[in-house]
């Protein structure tokens, strides 16, 4: 399959091998996308990132079957004159680079705005000027809060899907006030989306925008003090995994009432590959990529993860598995949240015939098995106190 013989797109046309410039290839999503491209397609990858730990296994000299199809370039896109040359060498650029951990949005708002807007500008410009296709990764956060969240708590319209299901072409983007710096990320991401869209409208840029809804799986984020900073606060799955590995209660911010949908990374990557290989169906579109069937409150997620981790680790749950904390205590001043995030799947289903497959239980089992296998020993070593002789 890897040589791509006889591979056709959704319209039955042969898929030509292409060169893909992937910015942020060393991250969680990038590592899974690189794996998919190298093992299942004939495409070449120019992998750009500051770090390559998560794709080291793809760069080893003994992975001879694809060593000619991936090149790693250690680049910080902020200020590197090589960027335009690499975009020119490729048929398609995929931009995954971002600061995307909520703990940073209100403690490092300037870095967040610069990383997600200013640093993405040259990428859009080089693609537009050189007539290169762009797949830009945005976020479901651009939707902000649902219309329903502004209704009284017991209002019957809160149950009406038209007040909370998020549609790419209809739903408004509703953010909190300026002093709620949590929205620095969503606002920067929305503005770069508008810029990409405008380049398409005015200058003919061929683009696709991806709005991920909580993609989950192995290699996501980091475990604080093991492969990331001790004081770092990753996203909810890695936060909860860290607590489970250390046998600490899972911290529920503001009672864990926010609702989220989670999708398995391997399902999501299938959708991205369809976008890459079906430009005629994907160009000019914004796609929600999520799993509306996997909806839970953060509290329910904590309960499920506790149960799944007990199963995969063989260790019983601790006596008090969760503890409530305020958002101010956990994230600092200026935090705010979106209430519910349920993607409408109409457009991606119509254009690419794609639907997610993996249930929440199965994706948690797969991810927590990986977390336990990868980190349990390291965490035990880190937490065992040296005994004085």
With H, G, I as helix, E, B as strand and everything else as coil, classify residue 95. strand
Choose, from 185, 309, 331, 375, the residue flagged as catalytic: 185
- Own/partner pairs for 58-64, CB < 8 Å, 24+ apart? 58/31, 58/34
Tokens standing for residue 256: 């864990």
| Separation CA 222–CA 236 (nearest Å) | 11
Q: CA angle, 371 as apex, 35 and 74 as ends, to 5°?
A: 45
Of 86, 3, 74, which is closest to residue 38 (Cα–Cα)?
A: 3
The secondary structure of residue 65, as a DSSP letter, is G
Cα–Cα distance list, 281 to 13, 20, 138 (Å): 13, 18, 19
Rg (alpha carbons) of the chain, rounded to whole number: 21
Cα–Cα distance between 147 and 166 in angstroms, integer?
10
The DSSP bridge partners found for residue 95 are 23, 136
Cα Dmax for the chain? 73
Task: Tell me if residue 375 is catalytic.
Answer: no
Check: CB of residue 360 under 8 Å from CB of residue 297.
no
The residues, any chain, with a CB within 8 Å of residue 234's CB and separated by 6 or more, are 101, 103, 220, 221, 222, 223, 224, 228, 242
Residues pairing with 289 in the sheet = 212
Count other Cβ atoms within 10 Å, centred on residue 249: 18
Instruction: Choose among 292, 302, 220: nearest CA to 257.
Output: 302
Q: 270: burial class by Cβ within 10 Å (0-12, 13-18, 19+)?
A: middle
| Residue positions annotated with a catalytic role | 185
């Amino acid at each position: 399959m890897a040589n791509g013989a006889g591979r056709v797109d959704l319209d039955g046309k042969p898929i030509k091998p292409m060169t893909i410039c992937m910015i942020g290839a060393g991250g969680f999503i990038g590592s899974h996308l690189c794996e998919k491209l190298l093992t299942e397609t004939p495409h070449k990858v120019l992998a750009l990132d500051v770090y390559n730990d998560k794709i080291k296994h793809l760069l080893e000299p003994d992975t001879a079957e694809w060593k000619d199809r991936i090149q790693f370039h250690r680049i910080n896109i902020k200020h590197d004159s090589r960027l335009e040359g690499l975009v020119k060498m490729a048929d398609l650029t995929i931009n995954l680079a971002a600061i995307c951990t909520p703990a940073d949005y209100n403690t490092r708002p300037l870095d967040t705005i610069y990383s997600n807007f200013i640093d993405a500008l040259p990428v859009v410009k080089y693609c537009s000027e050189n007539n290169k296709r762009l797949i830009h990764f945005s976020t479901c956060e651009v939707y902000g809060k649902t219309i329903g969240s502004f209704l009284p708590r017991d209002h019957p319209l809160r149950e009406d899907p038209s007040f909370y299901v998020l549609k790419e072409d209809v739903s408004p983007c509703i953010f909190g006030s300026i002093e709620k710096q949590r929205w620095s990320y969503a606002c920067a991401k929305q503005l770069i989306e508008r810029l990409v869209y405008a380049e398409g409208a005015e200058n003919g840029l061929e683009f696709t925008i991806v709005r991920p809804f909580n993609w989950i799986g192995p290699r996501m984020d980091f475990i604080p003090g093991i492969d990331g900073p001790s004081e770092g606060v990753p996203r909810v799955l890695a936060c909860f995994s860290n607590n489970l590995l250390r046998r600490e209660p899972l911290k529920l911010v503001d009672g864990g009432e926010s609702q989220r949908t989670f999708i398995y990374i391997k399902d999501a990557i299938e959708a991205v590959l369809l976008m890459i290989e079906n430009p005629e169906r994907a160009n000019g579109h914004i796609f929600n990529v999520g799993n509306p069937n996997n909806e839970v409150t953060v509290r329910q997620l904590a309960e499920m993860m506790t149960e799944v981790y007990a199963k995969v680790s063989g260790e019983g749950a601790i006596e008090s598995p969760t503890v409530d904390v305020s958002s101010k205590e956990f994230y600092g001043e200026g935090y705010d949240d979106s209430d519910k995030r349920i993607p409408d799947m109409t457009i991606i289903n119509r254009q690419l015939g794609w639907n997610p497959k993996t249930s929440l239980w199965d994706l948690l089992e797969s991810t927590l098995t990986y977390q336990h296998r990868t980190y349990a020993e390291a965490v035990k070593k880190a937490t065992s106190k040296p005994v004085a002789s």
